[in-house]
Amino acid sequence: MQENRNLYLLISLIALSLITAFVLIWNGSDSADIDKSLFKIAAENKVNKIQFESAKGKVELTFNGSKWLVNNQQEADAQMVTVFFASLLQVESKRELTGTFRDSIQQRLKQTGIQVKLWEGDVIVKEMTVVGNEQKTETYFQLPGEEPYFVTIPGYRVYVASIFELTANEWRDKRIFNFNWQNFKSLKSHLPADSAQDFTVSLGDGLFGIEEVAVTDTTKLSQYLESVFNLRADRFLTAEEIQQEDSLLAAKPILVLTIQDIAKHQLRLSVMGNSKKSGGLIATINQEPIMLQPRRFEPLFRKRSYFVLK
């Protein structure tokens, strides 16, 4: 009986070994045998320029010493830049691709891959091609002249390629009132359909108040200003979206917020209304078309009477 039991265990061990070997061959190289840090960057990196280039176009992020810029024009979203570097600090090469699947991914890399280059000064310190699968569930990286790898961020089920696929508009800082609030002078809220409820917030003796209200409910005003300070666009509209929303953009706004600083610079947000196509709110910030999420806009649609202390 003992001999039969030992024989059964031996056969089971051999079977498990064969299954394991088959799985490793099927999936590519064993991750224990590859360099997991192939595509990582050092934590102390001094990258000051990033370039993404594909058949869809080119996007450049450059650091000017104080902030990141998109194509040397608009300010970049600092949070998104942080996410990008965090991704490259943590990404691991999971397995090298083999067989027909490798050939398929290499073809995809050639056709739709994103060429990524990172500079420190005038020196390219990292160069690779990135592509995702059609389902946007898996990501593949390839170094120049090397084989492609399936990559992951350990502990997270994320589509790594998503941060590499962003357009110039998507990289832009989406804060609406992006300026130094220490220079704040006034905020004018105008309701074209009910101008009697217009109000002006100004700063006097270090305190915010509403000029048209004798006694302001400071709690409500603080909550309102916090919503204004933190307001972010969902996205900047593309040329195609602008054309589609042309009639709404030409319509009379339902709310106009104008902020002025002590140097008399103005930022003007005009909210037109809900888009029938997307469900979002179409607006302009200094005449540039954007889309807002209704939930972010609702706290801003206030009448003067709302702030009267009762």
What the chain holds in terms of domains, given with CATH numbers, is 29-171 (2.60.40), 181-307 (no CATH)
The pLDDT assigned to 277 comes to 83
Residue listed under structure tokens 């000064």 = 121
The pLDDT assigned to 256 comes to 97
The DSSP result for 69-100, as a single string, is EETTTEEB-HHHHHHHHHHHHH-EEEEE--HH
The pLDDT assigned to 279 comes to 83
DSSP 8-state secondary structure symbol assigned to residue 216? B
Taking residue 107's Cβ as centre, other Cβ atoms within 10 Å add up to 12
Residue listed under structure tokens 């088959």 = 22
The pLDDT assigned to 264 comes to 87
* Cβ–Cβ < 8 Å for 278, 290: no
* Cβ–Cβ < 8 Å for 150, 28: yes
> Per-residue pLDDT for the chain (310 aa), expressed as one digit of tens each?
444 444 443 344 434 444 444 444 444 444 457 888 899 988 778 999 999 999 999 999 999 999 999 999 999 999 999 999 999 999 999 999 999 999 999 999 999 999 999 999 999 999 999 999 999 999 999 999 999 999 999 998 899 999 999 999 999 999 998 777 788 899 999 999 999 999 999 987 778 999 999 999 999 999 999 999 899 999 999 999 999 999 999 999 999 999 998 888 899 999 999 998 888 999 999 999 999 999 888 999 999 999 999 8
220: buried, middle or exposed (CB in 10 Å: 19+, 13-18, 0-12)?
middle
Q: Which two tokens stand for residue 112?
A: 């739709």
The pLDDT assigned to 43 comes to 77
Q: How far is 102 from 91, CA to CA, in rounded Å?
A: 20
Task: Report the DSSP pairing between strands 68-70 and 74-75.
Answer: antiparallel
Q: What is the distance between the terminal CA atoms of the chain, rounded to a whole angstrom?
A: 90
Q: Which two tokens stand for residue 206?
A: 């270090």
Q: How far is 211 from 96, CA to CA, in rounded Å?
A: 66
